Amino acid sequence: MTLSDISIKPQILFVEDDLELGPLLKKVLEEYNYDVHWVISAEDASLVLPVIKPNLIISDRMLPGQDGISFCKNIREQGLTTQILMLTALNADNNMVEGLDAGADDYLGKPFSYQVLLAKVRAMLRRTVVSANIKKEQIQLSDLVLSISERTVKRAGKPIRLTAREFHLLYYLLRHKGQIKTREEILEAVWGVDFDPCTNVVDVYINYLRNKIDKPYEQKLLHTYIGLGYSLKEKP
């Protein structure tokens, strides 16, 4: 057997304080060839994070000590872009938006089926692979420039700070600049196919993005087409 024949298992850091659910989900994920590191607190997760360098983090929102929201924020403040899936029994839109704003890349409400969990894990790991394979791509529209390799955004030469989700949304719209993308298309591309199409999270994030890339500038690039969707273009 050569090195190329060896399949490297994706590393998952799983943060869950439920002593029944934790080992159960760990076993399910391991049966699908994932290498799972299960811990019961955000503090423990922070200790092992730099050691195992996971491909994906699955974290419960309600944790003893530091909760999942604070844990996500701390990860993003460190500049880490590891995909984060948040698990929670709090399924209201405002709770979901709070989790996404904190830095989570997707959200799964309890109770959930193993099939949905596994589908989200596969989708998020695919996005990780795609991101890793894009090396030096740069996309530009007028004076707005997004660098994939550096994960930076500038307009008129001035840096713009975006969250991981805002960056992903802007990247998607720039990849399809000049095209009108529906809310459903954006949800599928940026949040995953299992995301609830009834949520207003797309509108919320479009507003966040508009405030950062358009509001301070005379030329507007992000346009709303009522009843159709959104588009990035120089002229509406």
Torsion of CA 173, 129, 100, 45, to 10 degrees: -160
Which helix (H) or strand (E) is 146 found in, with range? strand 144-147
Alpha-carbon Rg of the chain, whole angstroms? 19
Q: In sequence order, which ranges of 59-215 are alpha helices (DSSP H)?
A: 68-77, 93-102, 114-133, 164-175, 183-186, 201-213
Quick one: pLDDT at residue 98? 87
**CB crowding 24-44: b at 16 or more within 10 Å, else e:** ebbeebeeeebebbbbbbbeb
Q: What is the pLDDT along the chain (236 residues), one digit of tens a residue?
A: 232 333 467 899 999 999 999 999 999 999 998 999 999 999 999 999 988 889 999 999 999 999 999 999 999 888 888 899 999 887 767 778 888 888 899 988 888 899 999 999 998 888 776 555 544 578 899 999 998 877 889 999 999 999 888 999 999 999 999 999 998 889 888 887 555 657 788 999 999 999 999 999 999 999 999 989 999 998 76
CATH class of 138-232: mainly alpha
Mapping DSSP onto H, E and C, the string for 71-106 reads HHHHHHHCCCCCEEEEEECCCCHHHHHHHHHHCCCE
Quick one: pLDDT at residue 4? 32
Quick one: pLDDT at residue 1? 28
Contact between 75 and 82 (Cβ < 8 Å) = yes
Domain ranges of the chain: 10-133, 138-232
Quick one: pLDDT at residue 7? 40
What pTM value is reported for the model? 0.56
Contact between 82 and 57 (Cβ < 8 Å) = yes
CATH class of 10-133: alpha beta
Q: Is the peptide bond before 50 cis (omega within 30 degrees of 0)?
A: no
Q: CB neighbours of 80 closer than 8 A, spacing ≥ 6?
A: 49
d(CA 3, CA 88): 39
Q: Decide: helix, strand or coil at residue 175.
A: helix
Residues 191-205 have pLDDT tens digits of 875 556 577 889 999
Quick one: pLDDT at residue 129? 62
Query: Facing residues of 107 across strands?
Result: 86
Contact between 145 and 154 (Cβ < 8 Å) = yes
